[in-house]
């Protein structure tokens, strides 16, 4: 391979820039020309593609977001769109592609590969950590720490007023952010999509207070919990928790941004380099991931179709630690 390109797609995640930097500098190191594609698959279709050098990725490792910008592309879901994309690559002589993103990104890549046999390797960039094939996704650690810092702040005011706070964190299909930020924040209860917590349990836990000295409580709710988000949960419990001062806080989009943590910069760099070197070494239609601290490649199909289970010992720990 003489020319490769890279894009970021789907929701942005802190560490994507570190990953991009590693792809570009890795390519230069191996004597390969590197191109950046803006706005994900949309930019690919429209030819928003430009050559990148080492200095193009200078001073970006500490930046949140993605300098290539990101988008969700409806056109790439059409045969016509993918054809244009392929032509753009051919016209420039680009022989391989690194895509940084999540589920949707890899689904698109997989279809594209089937149709055109074009070599693509992925790097997992999403704050949700819900991708099979890697222990950690790029952006997850930062999102957890951002949520945690917010929980710490909210606990100050919860303590000062003896309140119960229901804090909603991101995670439409996955409780990873909720579990980690909840344990880190000393939450009394954590509600996630993967397990069912009945409203009766919530009321029992909060009403009784096994530790009778506790006057304030934090409940962390993943936005995709089967009982609904934090607001819905409070609506369901408030009539049965009379006399308690219940508040809701929805952390929202700030969980996506911010300077990446050390871990996200490092795994971003490792996975960017792994995706690039995988691609150069002949891998295709696969995602580079880190499992047990080693780089592993898993087919896009498997990444997309396999559910990643929550760690059961963390769920067990919540009960013990809030005793």
Is there a contact between 118 and 97 (Cβ–Cβ < 8 Å)? yes
70 is an interface residue for a second copy by CB under 8 A: yes
Q: Which positions are annotated as active-site residues? A: 128
Cβ at position 90, least distance to a second copy in Å:
28
Cβ at position 210, least distance to a second copy in Å:
8
Name the H helices within the chain.
16-29, 40-46, 79-92, 103-116, 140-161, 176-184, 199-208, 230-237, 262-280, 300-305, 312-321
Specify the stretch interacting with a second copy by CB under 8 A; choose among 22-30, 84-92, 111-119, 200-208: 22-30
21 is an interface residue for a second copy by CB under 8 A: yes
x/- mask, a second copy, residues 163-202, rule CB under 8 A, reads --x--------------xx-xxxx----------------
> Between residues 65 and 116, which has the closer beta carbon with respect to a second copy?
65
Burial of 295 (0-12, 13-18, 19+ CB in 10 A): middle
Cβ at position 116, least distance to a second copy in Å:
27
x/- mask, a second copy, residues 24-43, rule CB under 8 A, reads -xx-xx--------------
Residues pairing with 295 in the sheet: 290
Specify the stretch interacting with a second copy by CB under 8 A; choose among 59-67, 93-101, 105-113, 236-244: 59-67
269 is an interface residue for a second copy by CB under 8 A: yes
Scanning residues 87 to 116, which ones bind a second copy (CB under 8 A)? none
Among 90, 157, 235, 306, binds a second copy (CB under 8 A): 157
Closest among 145, 202, 188 to 153, alpha carbons compared: 145
- The size of the interface with a second copy (CB under 8 A), counted in residues, is 81
Scanning residues 231 to 250, which ones bind a second copy (CB under 8 A)? 247-250
Specify the stretch interacting with a second copy by CB under 8 A; choose among 75-83, 85-93, 152-160, 191-199: 152-160
Burial of 97 (0-12, 13-18, 19+ CB in 10 A): buried
Query: Tokens 């590693």 map to which residue?
Result: 22
Q: Who's near 62: CB < 8 A, 6+ residues apart?
A: 259, 260, 265
Scanning residues 114 to 143, which ones bind a second copy (CB under 8 A)? 135, 141
Length of the chain: 323
283 is an interface residue for a second copy by CB under 8 A: no
Closest among 24, 60, 8, 63 to 260, alpha carbons compared: 63
79 is an interface residue for a second copy by CB under 8 A: no
> Between residues 83 and 210, which has the closer beta carbon with respect to a second copy?
210
Kindly give the pairing relationship between strand 246-250 and strand 294-299.
Answer: unpaired
Instruction: Give the angle 243-318-202 at the CA atoms, nearest 5°.
Output: 30
DSSP at 261: P
Cβ at position 84, least distance to a second copy in Å:
21
């Amino acid at each position: 391979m003489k020319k490769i390109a890279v894009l970021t797609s789907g929701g942005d995640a802190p560490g994507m820039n570190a990953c991009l930097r590693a792809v570009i500098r890795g390519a230069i190191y191996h004597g390969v020309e590197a191109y950046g594609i803006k706005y994900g698959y949309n930019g690919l279709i429209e030819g928003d593609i430009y050559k990148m050098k080492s200095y193009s990725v200078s001073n970006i490792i500490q930046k949140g977001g993605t300098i290539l910008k990101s988008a969700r592309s409806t056109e790439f879901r059409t045969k016509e769109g993918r054809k244009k994309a392929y032509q753009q690559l051919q016209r420039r002589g680009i022989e391989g592609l690194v895509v940084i993103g999540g589920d949707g990104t890899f689904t698109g890549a997989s279809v594209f590969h089937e149709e055109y046999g074009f070599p693509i390797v992925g790097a997992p960039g999403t704050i949700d950590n819900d991708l099979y094939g890697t222990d950690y996704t790029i952006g997850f650690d930062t999102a957890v720490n951002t949520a945690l810092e917010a929980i710490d702040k909210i606990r100050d005011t919860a303590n000062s007023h003896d309140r119960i706070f229901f804090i909603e964190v991101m995670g439409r299909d996955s409780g990873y952010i909720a579990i980690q930020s909840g344990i880190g924040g000393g939450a009394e209860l954590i509600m996630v999509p993967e397990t069912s917590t009945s409203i009766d349990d919530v009321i029992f836990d909060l009403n009784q207070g096994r530790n009778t000295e506790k006057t304030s409580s934090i409940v962390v709710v993943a936005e995709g919990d089967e009982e609904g988000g934090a607001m819905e949960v409070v609506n369901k419990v408030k009539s049965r928790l009379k006399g308690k001062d219940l508040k809701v806080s929805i952390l929202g989009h700030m969980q996506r941004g911010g300077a990446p943590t050390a871990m996200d910069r490092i795994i971003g760099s490792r996975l960017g380099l792994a995706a690039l070197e995988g691609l150069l070494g002949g891998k295709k239609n696969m995602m580079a991931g880190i499992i047990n601290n080693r780089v592993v490649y898993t087919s896009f199909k498997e990444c997309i179709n396999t559910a990643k289970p929550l760690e059961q010992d963390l769920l067990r720990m919540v009960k013990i630690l809030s005793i």
